[in-house]
C-alpha cells in the first residue's frame, strides 16, 4: 500500500522540522559592559586642517540650510573644528564604535573611564551607549533587545543584558 502524495509531503516536512525543534535552545541573555578605551583602536585618521577647512565651507556656507543651520558650530572655524575634528575608533573586540575627539591626545582618550551606560531603541535597532570622561562616547548597534542593569559606571562596572 502506498501513501498519498500529501501524506508523504507532510511526513517529509515533519522529518525536517523535528530535528530543528529538538536542537533549538531558548535565547540566552548576553551580558555586555562598556569597553575599556585602553584597548580601543583608531580605525580612521584624524582629518587634516585642509580637510576641515574644505568641509567647514561646505557645511557652514549657503548650503547649511540642508544641514539645519547649526549656528553654534558654524559661528567660527574654531567652533567647527572643536565639533568636527573626530576620528572613528572601535573597541578591541569591534562591538562598540564611536567618533572620538582628535583635539584630545590619544593617551588621554585611552585613560578615560566609563561614566554611564544607556540604551535607545529606534524601530528594530538598539543603541547601547557608553559615555566616558571628556565627553567621549562609544556605541554598540544591535538588533537584539537590551536593558541596562547597572547604568552608573562610577560605582563599578556598568552592564546591560541583550537578548
Per-residue pLDDT of 148-163, as tens digits, reads: 998 998 877 889 999 8
- Site of grid cell 564611536: 98
Predicted confidence (pLDDT) per residue in 92-147, tens digit: 999 999 999 999 999 999 999 999 999 999 989 999 999 999 899 999 999 999 99
149 alpha carbon, distance to own chain's centre: 18
- Retrieve residue 13's grid coordinates: 516536512
- Residue 74 scores a pLDDT above 90: no
Contact (Cβ atoms closer than 8 angstroms) between residue 103 and residue 120: no
Residue 67 has a pLDDT of 61
Exposure string over 52-68, b if 16+ CB within 10 A, otherwise e:
beeebeebbeeeeeeee
pLDDT above 70: percentage of residues in the chain = 77
Q: What is the pLDDT of residue 29?
A: 74
pLDDT, position 121: 93
Residue 146: per-residue pLDDT: 93
pLDDT of residue 24: 42
SS3 state at 98? strand
pLDDT band at 23 (very low <50, low <70, confident <90, very high): very low
Strand pairing report for 41-42 and 86-90: antiparallel
- Picking from 115, 160, 155, the residue whose alpha carbon sits closest to that of residue 142 is 160
Contacts of 136 (CB under 8 A, 6+ apart): 37, 98, 100, 101, 104, 109, 112
**Hey, CA dihedral for 72, 119, 138, 117, is it positive or negative?**
positive
Q: What is the mean pLDDT of the chain?
A: 83
Amino acid at each position: 500500500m502506498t501513501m498519498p502524495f500529501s501524506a508523504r509531503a507532510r511526513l517529509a516536512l515533519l522529518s525536517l522540522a523535528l530535528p530543528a525543534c529538538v536542537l533549538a535552545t531558548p535565547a540566552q541573555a548576553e551580558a555586555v559592559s562598556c569597553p575599556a578605551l585602553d584597548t580601543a583602536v583608531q580605525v580612521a585618521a584624524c582629518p587634516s586642517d585642509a580637510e576641515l577647512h574644505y568641509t567647514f565651507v561646505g557645511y557652514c556656507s549657503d548650503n547649511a540650510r540642508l544641514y539645519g543651520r547649526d549656528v553654534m558650530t558654524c559661528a567660527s572655524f574654531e567652533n567647527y573644528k572643536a565639533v568636527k575634528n573626530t576620528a572613528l575608533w572601535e573597541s578591541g573586540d569591534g562591538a562598540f564604535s564611536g567618533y572620538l575627539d582628535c583635539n584630545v591626545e590619544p593617551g588621554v582618550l585611552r585613560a578615560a573611564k566609563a561614566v554611564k551606560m544607556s540604551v535607545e531603541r529606534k524601530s528594530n535597532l538598539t543603541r547601547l551607549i557608553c559615555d566616558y570622561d571628556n565627553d567621549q562616547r562609544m556605541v554598540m548597534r544591535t538588533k537584539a533587545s537590551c536593558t541596562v542593569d547597572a547604568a552608573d559606571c562610577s560605582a563599578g562596572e556598568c552592564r546591560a543584558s541583550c537578548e
